Amino acid sequence: MNKLLPFLLLPLCGVAVAEDSSVPMMPDGSRDMYVGVALASSTAAAAGETRPILLRPLLQVEWSNGIFVSASGVVGMNFSPSAGVEYGPLLADSNSRNPTDNHRLRGSHAIDGTLDAGGYFNYYLGDDARLTSRLIYDTSAHGLRSEVGVQKSWSGLAPHHTFSLSAGVSLASGSVMRERYEVSRAAGGPRDYTPSGGVTAVNVGANWNWALSSKWLLTSGGNVTRLGAEPAASPVVERRTFLNVYSGFAYRF
């Protein structure tokens, strides 16, 4: 299960002023800082399974000292003195997993839900677009994960509305791939499978924020993820492409 680490850090600092133009774009591509709750759903992992509908937290905040958190399980700090560049350290939450959790996982590795550490670098192509990158050391697999992407935001299409698009690719070293997707027949799996390092997934996403008032926000979004060839060939994977959507209300700072 995901840990709600961002909520533990929320009371530690005062919130920066949201209208400050120096506030960088947040993880969803906007400059809004908010806390709330949303309904989220995703494509079922296998045909015939129930498509889950879950209640998930909405949170993204950056404080005046550069520390930021999001409900995606990321905590970091922006060290950059320049408005056109962002960089600094990151702590990222990760899911735990046990081969007994689901029949599809038989013969796979157990995964510890430990905190992973790394850093990020974002470069702005203009006021509302940026290139993003991060490099994370996976403390459970003892390997590296990385992500590169691009985000573009539009705030002038309609009054009180902000829309953003994103696209990216995720990569992982061999040890990370093996922990997540390796299967052993001797351990109860349907066949032996050992992946190598490479592309874990590509994704595209969209986010729409509607300011209902100066404080309340309706935020909705979705993303499509397609697994890379190595993960997709694993016996633990029954669906290569996933759709995730969410919509909820948040209080904006």
Mean pLDDT of all residues in the chain?
A: 85
Q: Which of 204, 208, 228 is nearest to 217 (CA)?
A: 208
Instruction: State the pLDDT at residue 120.
Output: 95
Residue 183 has pLDDT above 60, yes or no: yes
Instruction: State the pLDDT at residue 103.
Output: 87
pLDDT range class, residue 28, cuts 50, 70, 90: low
Residue 38 has pLDDT above 90, yes or no: yes
Whole-prediction pTM: 0.83
Cβ distance 64 to 14 under 8 Å? yes
Instruction: State the pLDDT at residue 49.
Output: 65
pLDDT range class, residue 46, cuts 50, 70, 90: low
Query: Which range, 39-48, 62-71, 120-129, 184-193, is most confident?
Result: 184-193
Total domains present in the chain: 1
Residue 17 has pLDDT above 50, yes or no: no
Instruction: State the pLDDT at residue 4.
Output: 28
Least confident of 23-37, 81-95, 184-198, 230-244: 23-37
Residue 48 has pLDDT above 80, yes or no: no
Domain boundaries, position 205 = 5-252
Mean per-residue pLDDT for 4-28? 36
The torsion angles phi and psi of 138, rounded to 5 degrees, stand at: -80, 110
Instruction: State the pLDDT at residue 83.
Output: 83
Residues 6+ apart with CB under 8 A from 81: none
The enclosing domain of 237 has a CATH number of 2.40.160.40
Instruction: State the pLDDT at residue 20.
Output: 31
* pLDDT above 90 as % of the chain: 64
Residue 153 has pLDDT above 50, yes or no: yes
Instruction: State the pLDDT at residue 36.
Output: 95
Q: Which of 168, 125, 161 is nearest to 146 (CA)?
A: 168
Instruction: State the pLDDT at residue 75.
Output: 92
CB atoms within 10 A of CB 214: 9
pLDDT range class, residue 25, cuts 50, 70, 90: low
Residues 6+ apart with CB under 8 A from 64: 13, 14, 16, 17
Measured distance CA(164)–CA(24) in Å, rounded: 14
Cβ distance 220 to 207 under 8 Å? yes
Instruction: State the pLDDT at residue 13.
Output: 30
